[in-house]
Structure 1
Amino acid sequence: MQRSFKAKVIVSFFTIVNLALLGMGTLYYYKTSGDIERNTIDSLEQLVDRSVTILDNHMDNIRNEAWSYFSDKDFQVFVSNMSSAYPEKNSYYKNRLETSQRKFNAIGMIGVYDLYGNELASGQRSMLNAAEDNHRTKNQKKTLIEMALQKDGYPQWLVTHATAINSGNLNNTISFVQALKKISTYSQKMVGVIQIEFNASLLNQSIQDLNSGAGKDFVIVDRQGKIVFAENEDEIGKEIGDEPWYRSLTLTGKIGYRKSTIQGERYVTLYRKFQLNDWMLVGKIPLDNVLGGVKQARKFTLVIGVITLFIAMILAYFIAGSMTKSIRKLREHMKQVELGNFKVTVPVRSYDEIGSLGMSFNRMTRQIDYLVEKEYEARLLKKEAEIVALQSQINPHFLYNALGTIDALASIEGQEQISRISQSLGSMFRYSIKGGQVATLSEEVQQVKLYLSIQQIRYEDRVTYQIEIEPGLEEQLLPKLVLQPIVENAIKHGIEQIRDGGCVTIQARSIPDGRMAIRVHDNGAGCDERRLGEIRNMLNNTGFASRMADEDRSSIGLDNVNRRIRLYYGEQAELTFDSSKGTGTEVTLLLPITHAGRDSDA
C-alpha cells in the first residue's frame, strides 16, 4: 500500500523522536539509577557511621567513668573490705554509683563485686531481692569476675544481660568490665571487679533504627565474626565469619561497602569499625530496597516518555499537515492543468524548497499558456495565409496575360516606363505567389530592387538606394517578403515626406552572437517621441488581439514582419525601431544564421 507524503513525514518524525526518547530515556535511567544507588549507599554509610560514632562516644564515657573508680585509692580500700565496711561507706558509694548512672543515659547499671561475691550495685540490680539475684545473675557474675581477673586489670567489653525494671525480664546488652586493684608502692593486688552495663534499651534502639525498613539486618560482631549484639537475641553468639557475604568485605578501611549475592538475591553489605575495641557494625540490605528510588525514576521516565511521544505525535501531525499543505495545493492546481486550465497560479507563502517549487510551477504554467496562445495565433495566421494564397491564385494566367498585354501596348506606343513597371510588377507577382514561405537573402534583395525601381519611376530623382551585403550571407534563408514591407514603410513614411535627396540604405552583416543584422535606413522625415513609443509598444505586443486592433494602422507592415519572424525563429529573432524627427528612421532585423536547406513546403 502506497503511503501519502504526509504519512511518511509523520512516521519519520515519530521514529526520530521515538529513537531520541529511547536513547535519552535509557541514558537518563542508567545515570539516575547510578546516582540514586550511590546516594543511597552514601546515605547508609553516613547513617552507619553516625550510629557507631554515637555508640563509640557512649562507650568512651562509660570507660572514662570506670577509670574514675579504678584510679580512686579510697574506693580500692572500700572494695577490698566490702564485706566488713561500715554502713555509711556502703551508702556513700552506693549514692556515688547512682550519681554516675544518672549522669550518663547510656549507663544502665554499675555493679562492683569483691572477690568473694559481695556486691554493690546501682539502678536495676539494686531493686532485685536476693532470691532473684541468686537465680538470674549468679553465673554471670561469676563469669565476669573470672574473665576480669584473667585480663589482670585490662578493660574489656563483654556480652551480658540486664534486668528490665518494669518487667523483670532479662535484656541483651554489653558491659564494660575491668578488674579493680589495690595499688601500693610495692604491689597491685586484685580486690574486685567493676561492671558498667550499657543501657539495654538505648543499645537495642540504636540497632532497631538501623534495621528499620524491609530486609535490613545490622549486627555487632567481634574480630572473629561472632555476633556480639543483635536485635534478634537468637543471633547473639552466632558465627558469621565464614558466610560469603561477610568474607567478601575487604575490611581494609574504617568504613566500607560491597555488593554481593546471597541465595540468588543481590545485597549491599556495609561495615563500620568501632574505635575503642575490635568490634564492628556490619549489615546487609537487599539491593532492590536500595534501588527503590530507581524504580520510581523508571516509572517517571516511562510516564514522561509516553506523554512526550503523545505530544510528539500530535506535533508531527500538525507539522506534517503544515508542510504538506502547500504540496496538496500544488497537486490540486496540477490537476487543473491536466484538464487544460493553464492560467492557474499557486499562492507562494514561503521561500523554502516547496515555495521554490511553487514559483517554478507558476513560471511553467505561464510559459505553457504563452506557447498555447502562440500556437493558436500561428494556426490562425496560417489559416489566413492559406485563404489569401488561395485568393491570390485565382486565375493567375489572367493577371499574367493582363500585365503582358499592358507591357506590349506600352512598347508599341513607346511608353518605356509603363513597360518597365509592368515587367517589375509581373516579377514581384510571380515571386509572391510561388511555392514556399522562405527565400534566400539575395532573392529578398532582388524583390526590393524591383520595388525600388518602380518607386524611382514614380518619384524620379527624389529616391536613391544603396545595398551592401556581406559576402557569404546571400544564401541565408529567411521568411519570404520581410524586407519589402520595411522598405515600403521607409518610402511612405520617410522619403515621401521630404522634397528631395531621399536615400534608402540596406546593409546585411553577421554579428558575434551567431546572428545576422539586416538594417534598413532612410533619411526621411522620421517621427517624434510619442509616435516612436507607440510603434515600439506595438512591436513588443505580438498578441493576436493587438494585431486585430491595429490592422488599420499605418505600421501594420512592421507588425506583420515582426510577428512572422518571431513565429519562425522564436525568441532568437528581434526587430528594433529607431527614429528621430528630421533625421530619419532605422529598422534592424536580428535573425539567426542558418545553414539548413530550403523548406519549400513550410
Structure 2
Amino acid sequence: MDNGIFHVIRVTPETGNIFSYQPFLLSLAISVLILGSASIIIFCLIFKPLKNIVRLSEHMNRQNSHTLSLYPGKISRDETGDLILSFNRMSERINELSESLLNNEIQLKNAQIEALQNQLNPHFFYGTLESIRMIAEANHQELISDIAYSFGNLMRYSLSREYLVPVSREIEMTRQYVSIQEKRLVNRFEISWDICELDDKWRCPKFALFNMVENVFFHNVSKCRSFIQAAVILKKDGDDLIITVKNTGPGIPPERLAHLRYLLEHPRERDTMTSENNGRGIFNINDRLRLFYGGDYRLDIDSEENVLTVCSVRICKHYNGF
C-alpha cells in the first residue's frame, strides 16, 4: 500500500506450449556431432593399424619358399610400422643365413664328390715309391731316392683325414715340396724362411701354406726364365697368426687380379673361370678359412705386375670347431 492505493499485478501464461524443445535439440545435435566425430577418429586410429596388420599377415602367409620377400607396402610411423620393420630385418637375416647354409651344403657336396674321386689305394702308391727309392739307393741314385722319399711323405700328408694340422707340420711338408723343386729346378729360385716360435697349439687348415708356395712355382718359376726370389713369413698378431708368401716374377695383371678378388667374395660366380689357371687353390684356402674361423678370416692377395706378388692368410689360435 502506498497512500491507500492498491497495485494488483496479474500474471497470465503465454499462449502455446510452455516447454521449449530448441535447447534440447541443439544440445542433442551437438552431442551427436561430437560422438560421431569421435567415433570416426577412433575408427580411423584403430582400423588403419589393423588394416596394416592384416596386410602383413597376408604377405607372411604368401611366403612359401626358402627366400623371404620383404613387405612391399607403406610403412607407417606407429607400432605396426615397427612390427613391419622388424619383419623385414628378420627376413633379411633369414635370407642371409639361408644363403650361407646353401653355400655350405654345396661346398660339402663338392668336397664329398672330390673325396670319392680321390679314393685311391694309398698303399699301392706308398709301396711303389718305396720300391723306387730302394732301387735308386741300390744304384747310388741319391737324387731319385730323395725325391721319392719326399714325394711319399707328401702323399701320406695329402691323404690323411685331418682338417686342421699343426702349423709346424704344414711347414715341414712345404719344405719337403720345396726340396723337390730345388732338385728339379736348379738355380732357378731362392726362398727364405722367417718363422716365429710356435707350439703345437697353433693349427691351420691342411695345405694352407703349401698351396700358396705351390702357386709361386706354378705361376712364376715355371712360367718365366727370370730368377725368382720368394719369402715365407710367419708372425703372430695377438691370438692370430699371419702367414705371408711373397715372390718376384711376372705377377698378376690388374684385370685378372680384380677378377680373382671378386670371385673370392662370390663363390657362385667361379664357374665362369674355365682356363687351367682357374684359381682353385686360393679359392679352396679362402673357403676353408671362412668355414673354420668365420667371415673375418680370409685369403688376401695383392700383386704388381712384373714386380711382386703377396699372398697372406690369417688363422686363429683359439679354435674349437671340428
Could you state the TM-score of these two structures normalised by the residue count of structure 2? 0.84
1:148-547 paired onto structure 2 within 5 Å: 157-160=2-5, 173=7, 211=11, 300-337=26-63, 339-347=64-72, 349-350=74-75, 352=77, 354-472=80-198, 475-511=201-237, 514-542=239-267, 545-547=268-270
Q: Cα gap change, 1:511/1:300 in structure 2, threshold over 3 Å: closer, same or farther?
A: farther
1:497-520 CA-partner distances (Å, limit 9, x unpaired): 4434312222222335x4332212
CA distance in 2 between partners of 1:493 and 1:546 (Å): 22
- Alpha-carbon offset, residue 485 of structure 1: 1.8
What corresponds to 2:304 in structure 1? Answer: 580
Identity %: 28
Partner deviation per Cα, 1:534-579 (whole Å, 9 max, x = no partner): 111111213xx32334364511211121122222222231221111
Aligned residues: 317
TM-superposed deviation, 1:309: 2.3
**Greater percentage in strand:** 1
Deviations 1:436-465 (A, max 9, x none): 211121222222212212222222122222
Residues in 2 aligned to 1:315 and 1:445: alpha-carbon distance in whole angstroms: 76
**Equivalent residues of 1:347, 1:358 under 8 A apart:** no
Q: What's the CA shift for 1:362?
A: 2.8
Bigger Cα displacement from structure 2, 373-382 vs 438-447 = 373-382
CA apart distance, 1:318: 3.2
Q: Secondary structure at the match of 1:402?
A: helix
Task: State the Cα distance separating 1:413 from its structure 2 match.
Answer: 3.0
Structure 2 counterpart of 1:550: 273
Q: Matched residue of 1:478: which SS?
A: strand
Deviation at 1:592, TM superposition (A): 2.8
In structure 2, give the amino acid aligned to 1:307: L
Flag the 1:498–1:549 CA change in 2: closer, same or farther, 3 A.
closer
CA contact (8 A) 1:494 1:584 kept: no
Specify whether residues 434 and 342 from structure 1 end up closer, same or farther in structure 2 by C-alpha distance, changes over 3 A only: same
What is the CA distance between 1:344 and its match in structure 2? 1.1
Helix, strand or coil for the counterpart of 2:197? coil
Q: Distance in 2 between matches of 1:415 and 1:579?
A: 40
CA contact 1:406–1:422 (8 Å) conserved in 2: yes
Structure 1, gaps ≥5 residues long: 1-155, 161-171, 174-203, 215-288
In 2, the alpha carbon distance for the partners of 1:495 and 1:351 equals 64
Distance in 2 of aligned mates of 1:566 and 1:547: 17
* Counterpart Cα distance in 1 of 2:88 and 2:222: 49
Q: 2: CA distance between counterparts of 1:212 and 1:522?
A: 125
For the pair 1:591 / 2:306, whether they are aligned, the reply is no
* Structure-2 change in CA distance of 1:311 and 1:404 (3 Å): same
Structure 1 residues 494-503 or 448-457, which shifts more?
494-503
Deviates more, 1:481-490 or 1:312-321: 312-321
Alpha carbons of structure 1 residues 329 and 561: separation in structure 2 relative to 1, 3 Å? farther
Which stretches in structure 2 are left out of the alignment for 5+ residues?
none
| Rounded Cα–Cα distance in structure 2 between residues aligned with 1:425 and 1:356 | 63
- Higher RCO (C-alpha under 8 Å, 6+ residues apart): 2
* Aligned-partner SS, 2:2: strand
SS in 2 for 1:572: coil
Is the contact made by 1:444 and 1:483 (CA closer than 8 Å) also made in structure 2? Answer: yes
CA contact (8 A) 1:348 1:355 kept: no
Q: Is the 8 A contact 2:230 2:247 kept in 1?
A: yes
Kindly provide the CA deviation profile for residues 229-260 of structure 1, in whole angstroms up to 9, marking residues without a partner as x: xxxxxxxxxxxxxxxxxxxxxxxxxxxxxxxx
For normalisation by structure 1, the TM-score amounts to 0.48
- How far is 1:351 from its partner? 6.8
Q: Structure 1's 320 and 477: CA in aligned 2 closer, same or farther, altered over 3 A?
A: farther
Deviations 1:257-294 (A, max 9, x none): xxxxxxxxxxxxxxxxxxxxxxxxxxxxxxxx9xx89x
Query: Highest Rg: 1 or 2?
Result: 1
How far is 1:426 from its partner? Answer: 1.0
CA–CA separation in structure 2 for the residues paired with 1:479 and 1:335: 44
CA contact (8 A) 2:240 2:314 kept: yes
Partner of 1:377, secondary structure, is helix
1:568 aligns with 2:292: yes
What is the SS of the residue equivalent to 1:496?
A: helix
Shift of 1:421: 1.7
Q: Return the letter of the residue paired with 2:61.
A: K
SS state at 1:559 partner: helix
Following the alignment from structure 2 to structure 1, what is the Cα–Cα distance between the partners of residues 201 and 142?
A: 33
CA RMSD, 1 decimal: 3.0
